[in-house]
Amino acid sequence: MYLSLNIYGYRFKICLASKNLKQALEREFRYFVEPDGTDSDYVITEKEIAMNLTPYDPERQISQNLIMSIASCLRNDFLFFHGSCIVRDGKAMAFVGPSGSGKSSIAIISYFLGLDVLTDDVVLVSKSNNLVYPFPKPVLVRCDIFRFLKRRGFISSFKYPPRLYIHPKAGSAKLSHLYLLTGQKKSVHPLIFLLQNSHSAAIGMKQTLLDIALLTEKLRVEPINHIQLDSLKNLKRHYTRLKELLFCRKTYPARKKETIPVL
């Protein structure tokens, strides 16, 4: 059996032996799934995406490996960063950083503050025009983020949903800001930091670094190590600073109380 994905005109056939794995990947990549039987430009086997798995959350690792394989196939046209991206005033703001740096937290809070979210995990940037394309995936919501949103009155449901799915409204947006979620680690050169958090780096480091340098020439790139969203205490402390960063002191209509689709 196989799974068919259409990623902005590039068709992929993912050959799978397990029905459960196919269903899991359909949930992860539901935005790109198309009916079986269509022609494909690239074929990816289960062996390629099931390498070096550990007992902890193998489905998530397979999903990450699949993204790496897709990035390898599309390396001539796109850059893939590990981060989240929101749209403000028609322009894209990307937050790039390692796992646990607050990317998904920023995406979720931005959504409930009324902004459009293109992605919370994979920032897909076109090399030709710096457009960021939506790459939505189910968002893993931590308990402290959920409690924070409830206390702020954004979520009316009393049930804790571990995964939410935010469907982007914008088709694509021009990238204008790159924020580097460096945390409290020793400062790294922005280009090296972006290289470390790029899904394309494993394909060709020298070419990826050159592509990143060309991308950032006309962008505002700003390392931010003073916003830590790794606990409820830090969420409360940095909420006002985050709103200033997102809105540049403008006021936007926040979303009404609602429950977004739960997987």
- Using 50 as the pLDDT threshold, list the residues of the chain that sit under it: 250-254, 256-263
Q: Identify the pLDDT of residue 232.
A: 56
Question: How many angstroms separate the CA atoms of 186 and 188, rounded?
Answer: 6
Question: How many angstroms separate the CA atoms of 81 and 95, rounded?
Answer: 9
Same domain, residue pair 92 and 141 = yes
Q: What is the DSSP letter of 13?
A: E
How would you label 88-110 residue by residue, b for 16+ Cβ within 10 Å and e otherwise? beeebbbbbbeeebbbbbbbbbb
Q: Identify the pLDDT of residue 7.
A: 92
Note whether residue 114 is domain-resident: yes
Question: How many angstroms separate the CA atoms of 155 and 250, rounded?
Answer: 23
Q: Identify the pLDDT of residue 10.
A: 92
Note whether residue 255 is domain-resident: no
Residue 76 phi, psi (nearest 5): -80, -15
Same domain, residue pair 17 and 83 = no
The domain that holds 243 is classified in CATH as 3.40.50
Around Cβ 207, how many Cβ atoms within 10 Å? 13
Same domain, residue pair 59 and 83 = no
The pLDDT tens digits of the residues spanning 69-78 come to: 898 889 889 9
Same domain, residue pair 94 and 204 = yes
Q: Identify the pLDDT of residue 260.
A: 45
Note whether residue 259 is domain-resident: no
- Structurally, how many domains does the chain consist of? 2
Same domain, residue pair 82 and 69 = no
The pLDDT tens digits of the residues spanning 161-186 come to: 667 777 887 789 999 888 888 765 55
- Exposed, middle or buried: residue 153 (CB in 10 Å: 0-12, 13-18, 19+)? exposed
The two structure tokens encoding residue 147? 């409690």
Q: Which of 73, 107, 130 is the last residue of a domain?
A: 73
Same domain, residue pair 14 and 107 = no
The residue with tokens 């289960």 is 46
What domain range includes position 218?
78-247
Note whether residue 262 is domain-resident: no
Residue 171 near residue 144 (C-beta atoms within 8 A)? no
Q: Identify the pLDDT of residue 229.
A: 58
Q: Identify the pLDDT of residue 225.
A: 59
Note whether residue 98 is domain-resident: yes
pTM: 0.82
Note whether residue 195 is domain-resident: yes
Same domain, residue pair 131 and 243 = yes
DSSP letter string over 170-218?
A: -S-EEEEEEEE--TTSPP--HHHHHHHTBTTTTT-HHHHHHHHHHHHTT
Note whether residue 14 is domain-resident: yes
